[in-house]
Amino acid sequence: MKEPRYIKSNLKSKRIVFEEEHPIRWSFMKVLREYSTLKQEFAINPYVEVYKFRDNLYCLYSESLDGAGDPWMYVIEGPKKAMLIDTGFGVGDLKGLIKELIPNKKLIVVNTHAHFDHAYGNAQFERCYCHEAEVERMKKTNNDKIWDYLFDENGKPIYTEFDRNDLIEYHEYEIVGVKDGHIFDLGDGYEVEAVHLPGHTPGQCGFYDLNNKTMFIGDTTGIGRIFEGEPFTEFCTVTALRDALVKLKPRFDEMSGVFPGHGMLDQTPTVLQYLLDTCNQIIDNPLNFDKEIVMERHGTVQKMYKKNIHQGTALRYKLENVK
């Protein structure tokens, strides 16, 4: 087994289990986290590093609590309101941190999708928005047992060391589904558009800051599982992601930066074209993959395939999720 490649950190969390990281992503994160002058740390939440990439854009990094990729959250400050994109695992006072960053402005909370690392902090807020095809999945995570899988039978963390007392007490919250193209107004005409980018989950959604021309794409490089009886399963395919990217393509050239749910930040929009190219390659020949992977996650064994994305990581998929 390879030795994990550590990155120096002052975070209260300490990784136990490391997923093998792509060299491109790891080298970017090492330089950013160890040497960037953009990094800020706040005592109110010792689980988050804050990086200011635009005058009104805060990028919030935290370590994964379940052994997978470390997630990003984003805060856009508008003239009258602010928007939080994703809420992470819910460890540490996220709400208090945002109040320190942006005091005295109403906060709109949105989720790219319902997965552990993107929506388990929702309970710190009263209302969260997601794409309408993601509402049913989001409802399943709306309970006080969502963190149990992070601990063994003795109550010790399995994947990442952290203090269970730092999980903010759970409460139910309102889930509001929106359609593709829904506009959020942050005041004085400052708009953010919801952009349906399905595949990873049925309602995986990006958010496009129409003022800064910055695109927040969540997790678009992995096609998710289809569950029996689940609605909108037609969206959990490589084809659905390809079709959404084709629809978005006329806007690629105007984008000033692409911000994903994991890994490298502020990428050029060519990453979306390369992702579109990879989708088309998979659809044309699903068996022309670059790597086969058999993995066990949360008690389930899955066989997946990876198709390399030019100058990037790889698109993960299963044969049943191509078309």
Quick one: fold of 14-321?
Metallo-beta-lactamase; Chain A (3.60.15)
Q: What is the pTM of this model?
A: 0.95
Q: Does residue 117 sit in helix, strand or coil?
A: helix
Cα–Cα distance, 254 to 237 (Å, whole number) = 27
Q: What is the DSSP letter of 227?
A: P
Closest CA to 83 of 269, 215, 207, 259: 207
pLDDT tens digits along 177-231: 999 999 999 999 999 999 999 999 999 999 999 999 999 999 998 887 766 667 8
Cα–Cα distance, 80 to 95 (Å, whole number) = 17
H or E stretch at 208: strand 205-209
- According to the model, what pLDDT value does residue 23 have? 80
Cα–Cα distance, 208 to 194 (Å, whole number) = 7
What's the token pair of residue 117?
A: 């690392």
Strands 214-218 and 257-260, by their bridges, are parallel
Cα–Cα distance, 198 to 224 (Å, whole number) = 9
- According to the model, what pLDDT value does residue 298 have? 61
- According to the model, what pLDDT value does residue 252 have? 98
pLDDT tens digits along 256-305: 999 999 999 999 999 999 999 999 999 999 999 999 988 776 667 778 89
CA atoms in the 13 A half-sphere facing the CB of 88: 27
